[in-house]
């Protein structure tokens, strides 16, 4: 039986990292905005307001959450590249998803992702092997090297795109 919470499986921290894996993660991050836009294309407001699973966020909230999360990640990358293992501030994803702006049109968040990922991918492609070893310190998880953060956010984008595409498949949309 599949788990609608993790349609692409749970994130697994990679143990062996090389340039080819990094390039794959960067490519996945680059594709995320277009894939999410395609996943929600043509959905009505009622469909956008449908939870992707029982007890889960609506499709609309998933789109806004993806933009919120990826903005935070981009900033964390920049902090890690300019400071010595900076301690980052986590945020309450659920509370953010319940704010009024997460109930509005998905278009601003899709546009934001387009622009954000253009900058983020440009930054990622410029990083050296040593840069990818830099880290930020998450209060709940400890130091997270940028290699692992890149892998995580490649997974994160695919994870949320799959929430939408798997719902569409189940609903026949």
pLDDT per position as a tens digit, 115-157:
999 999 999 999 999 999 999 999 999 999 999 999 999 999 9
Q: Quick check: is 110 in a domain? A: yes
Q: Quick check: is 77 in a domain? A: yes
- The CATH number of the domain where 90 resides is what? 1.20.120.450
Q: For the chain, what is the domain count?
A: 1
**CA-closest candidate to residue 118, choices 14, 33, 4, 53:** 33
**CA-closest candidate to residue 163, choices 46, 29, 3:** 3
Query: Residue 168: pLDDT above 70?
Result: yes
**CA-closest candidate to residue 146, choices 86, 63, 68:** 86
Dist. CA 107–CA 112, nearest whole Å: 8
Q: Quick check: is 33 in a domain? A: no
Per the confidence metrics, is the pTM higher than 0.75? yes
Q: Quick check: is 119 in a domain? A: yes
Phi, psi of 85 (to 5 degrees): 45, 65
- Sequence-ordered alpha helix ranges (H) in 49-171: 59-82, 93-97, 107-126, 129-133, 146-171
Q: Quick check: is 111 in a domain? A: yes
Whole-number pLDDT of residue 41 = 98
CA–CA–CA angle 29, 33, 35 (5° rounding): 95
Query: Residue 2: pLDDT above 80?
Result: no
**CA-closest candidate to residue 73, choices 20, 150, 168, 169:** 150
**Would you place residue 3 in the very low, low, confident or very high pLDDT band (cuts 50, 70, 90)?**
confident
Q: Tell me how crowded residue 77 is: count the other CB atoms within 10 A of its CB.
A: 21
Q: Quick check: is 123 in a domain? A: yes
67: containing domain: 39-171
Query: Residue 44: pLDDT above 80?
Result: yes
Q: Quick check: is 86 in a domain? A: yes
Instruction: Please compute the mean of the pLDDT values over residues 73-88 and round it to a whole number.
Output: 98
Residues 6+ apart with CB under 8 A from 60: 48, 49, 102, 103, 106
């Amino acid at each position: 039986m599949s788990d609608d919470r993790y349609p692409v499986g749970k994130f697994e921290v990679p143990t062996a990292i090389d340039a080819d894996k990094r390039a794959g993660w960067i490519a996945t991050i680059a594709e995320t905005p277009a894939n999410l836009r395609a996943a929600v294309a043509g959905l009505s407001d009622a469909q956008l307001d449908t939870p992707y699973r029982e007890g889960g966020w609506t499709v609309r909230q998933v789109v806004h959450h993806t933009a919120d999360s990826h903005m935070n990640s981009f900033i964390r990358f920049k902090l890690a590249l300019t400071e010595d293992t900076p301690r980052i501030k986590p945020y309450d994803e659920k509370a953010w998803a319940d704010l009024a702006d997460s109930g509005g049109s998905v278009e601003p968040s899709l546009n934001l992702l387009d622009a954000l990922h253009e900058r983020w991918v440009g930054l990622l492609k410029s990083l050296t092997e040593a840069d990818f070893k830099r880290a930020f310190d998450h209060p709940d998880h400890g130091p997270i090297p940028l290699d692992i953060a890149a892998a995580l956010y490649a997974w994160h984008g695919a994870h949320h795109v799959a929430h939408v595409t798997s719902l569409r498949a189940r609903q026949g949309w």
